[in-house]
A and B are shown apart, each in its own frame.
Chain A
Amino acid sequence: MKLEIGNILITDVQFGNVTKVENHVLYVNKAEIKTLVLEDERIENVTIELARPGESKRITPVKDVIEPRVKVSGNGSMFPGIISKVDTVGCGRTHVLKGSAIVTCGKIVGFQEGIIDMTGPGADYTPFSKLNNVCLVIEPIAGLKQYDYEAAARMAGLKIATYVGNAAKDIEPDEIQVFETKPMFEQSAAYPELPKVGYVYMLQTQGLLHDTYVYGVDAKQIVPTIMYPTEIMDGAIISGNCVSACDKNTTYHHLNNPIIQNLYKRHGKDLNFMGIIITNENVYLADKERSSNFTAKLAEFLGLDGVIVSQEGFGNPDTDLIMNCKKIEQTGIKTVIVTDEYAGRDGLSQSLADADVKADAVVTGGNANEVIILPPMETIIGTDAYINTIAGGFDGSLHEDGSIKVEIQAITGATNELGFNKLSAKSL
């Protein structure tokens, strides 16, 4: 599969009469967005606001972040099995409004949504402070169950990302990147002298609002399987989950998975990137055993020499991470695992809920319990009414002047376990 990604660089976002891109400025039509979102009868109202890098704005409670993209050529359309038909994607050309995003907000669970500050110290911890964001604050109809609210907010975000992404269709990209992974035997033969490397992509599937979808399927119900890396770039995997903000993979993270990007950077030079094994993080022991058996078996089946394993979430999924690592290492395949840490506010606790000596190559996204003070912002997009009970907040987190003392756990994407950020931790 070969995919061209055409990046159209966006430096500003404005409301306009027509949704379009002109001179790197994204214009969005507020009324059209509103109409599209309100097509869903589960949604009572939507407020649309813009947030640009450097503005004194705090977005919370954040549910998902999605990058606007559009398929220009090749099979299928964006978000197959959800927004478009369930065609196989990952070939041809896809245009991206690079530097922009759709941010969905709403108090779905209350505990499990996050904070994005567009300026100040909090902005350093979230990649989304660097984007020109179209924020949708979604209010449900009275009495709507949170499962339906989650589904409605999830669909609204994907729908608007697709609508905005369409504006990229006829624009000449500023840069084009090409990614290619060939069928297994061909790929293997392409660089016979290089180590064959795969990527074990763990998806959050603890259930009850901790869900991820693959071509529209709830990933709880899959057994691990193999995918071409470029399928992910066309929205084959999307986030449907509400879990601590710092280490949940938003749809934006999936679309821009940096492990995939960085494996491609060394593809044909230091390694031969053979493909992806997706797996889940179910809560039953038998599921954990089965899925980790499968990842090890598939890695061996593909003849891999090394894999990177990335986690999503923490605590319970630490056991999946360690099982994957241990069983893959036992087949003689070398692993590097990517995780984050819960070492306590003082940093003195052990960081993971499970461990094994075989996990001797670990990359960390940082200690999620570390406390930060976020100064007040001029504008709150959404509401800061849930700051004290958000995961990472505590009694008294929200101060009278609007400043917030929280663990970085509450910041969307702060300790991402796809290695999206520069943040790390070391022992002092």
Chain B
Amino acid sequence: MAYKVIHYINQFFANIGGEEMAHIAPEIREGAVGPGLGLNQQFKGEAEIIATVVCGDSYFNENIEAATTKIIDLIKDYQADLFIAGPAFNAGRYGTACGTICKAVQDKLNIPTLTGMYIENPGADMFKKEVYIIETSNAATGMRKALPKIGSLAMKIVKGEDILDAKTEGYMLRGIRKNYFADKIGAERAVDMLVKKLTGEEYTTEYPMPEFDRVNPGAAIKDLSKARIALVTSGGIVPKGNPDHIESSSASKYGKYEISKVSDLTSAEYETAHGGYDPVYANEEPDRVLPLDVLRDLEKEGVIGSIHPYFYTTVGNGTAVKSAKAFSEEIAGKLLNDGVDAVILTST
């Protein structure tokens, strides 16, 4: 049986009309429509467009949430193997719609997706990290060249075949780091690269430097004696036994634990889950990493207003920046909600 594909296009490619019809709400039609007919030919009978969603570009962009929900609802019972949107070429709103709906279908229905557009389409920068976007020319005259690339990658995705690098397959670089075995060992590659760099020959770095997200320090607290202070750590201090099983490296989660009745973190009750440093001193006296004991003294002395009744903790060891960023955004949101004025953030 052929793989089932659902296709998304705008009002223009559905032959409904141009800008004057861009307001139409999402609708679904059985089978292929417009460029979908050309796509079907690429599948050579191994896959087939079983339904086409048509939506006006203005409608989608002005009602992103409603449009997305409606489209998900329209297609969810088809049990499709793949969702293809566009190609959108250089049409900005169409490109944004293609990216948005692909990401939503991936996330909500767990169906792989694929789209195509021109590299300068604003949808490209917004979604190329999360969605396969085949690079096309800037106008619909490039349809004939775009369809074979879309068709070929589509077949690889549905068949679960190895997807090669961006250049070979024709999709935009997603920035996903993927391991592979090179022809030469790293040391030989390093010496090759150095010789080229010294002689002015062209070479390719294996890891282009990322751009860093630098954070400016917040404004100083004017009156500490009224401030509510929270303790947050990436040093892995957890209640004994690590009840939430935070990983010793590459943490996938953080923990939130109550300390309203605790004035000292003892080795009987707390320990570290961190696998990147010698845990002996942290386990002997967990306050060394999460300084609750001295903070309680300061609270008693009236130097600080109060200590937030919960501490947040994770393991910083080998943890992806993306995960750390997600944890910190959630934690910061909760602390703000709880009226916390300042945080003592300890690392190891």
Contacts and interface: CB of A to CB of B under 8 A. Distances in A.
A338 interface: yes
A391 B187 contact: no
Contacts of B245: 394-395
B187 A244 contact: no
B250 A369 contact: yes
A342 B177 CA distance: 9
Nearest to B200: A334
A282 to B, nearest CB: 14
Interface stretch (A56-64, A135-143, A227-235, A347-355): A347-355
Q: Is the interface of A mostly helix, strand, loop or mixed?
A: loop
A365 to B, nearest CB: 6
A360 B210 CA distance: 11
A271 to B, nearest CB: 6
B247 A262 contact: no
Interface string A180-222: 0000000000000001010000000011111000000000000
Contacts of B203: 361
A363 B206 contact: yes
B248 interface: yes
A389 interface: yes
B318 A370 contact: no
Contact of A394 (B247, B274, B280): B247
Contacts of A407: 249-250
Q: Is the interface of B mostly helix, strand, loop or mixed?
A: loop
A305 B182 CA distance: 27
Interface stretch (A30-38, A171-179, A287-295, A419-427): A419-427
B207 A409 contact: no
Given A308-B194, A369-B318, A427 B209 contact: no
Interface string B259-275: 00000000000000011
Contact of A424 (B174, B186, B209): B186
A205 B35 CA distance: 61
Contacts of B181: 124, 422-424
Contacts of B178: 347, 367, 370, 425-428
B22 interface: no
Interface in A376-424: 389-395, 407-409, 416-424
Interface in B151-187: 163, 165-166, 173-187
Contacts of A390: 248, 275
A263 B191 contact: yes
A394 B253 CA distance: 11
A315 to B, nearest CB: 7
A390 B319 CA distance: 14
Contacts of A117: none
Interface stretch (B82-90, B221-229, B320-328): B320-328
Interface in B205-237: 205-212
A345 B175 CA distance: 13
Given A349-B320, A361-B203, A259 B187 contact: yes
A418 B187 contact: yes
Contacts of B322: 344, 346, 348-350
Given A208-B278, A261-B187, A262-B190, A427 B177 contact: yes
A426 B212 contact: no
Given A197-B194, A417-B186, 5 more contacts: A111-B249, A243-B276, A364-B206, A420-B185, A423-B186
24 contacts: A109-B279, A308-B191, A335-B194, A336-B194, A339-B207, A342-B318, A342-B319, A343-B177, A344-B250, A349-B323, A350-B321, A357-B209, A360-B209, A364-B186, A365-B186, A391-B250, A392-B318, A420-B187, A421-B186, A424-B179, A425-B206, A426-B178, A427-B173, A428-B163
4 A-B pairs with the lowest CB-CB distances in the bound complex, closest first: A419-B186, A344-B320, A111-B275, A419-B187
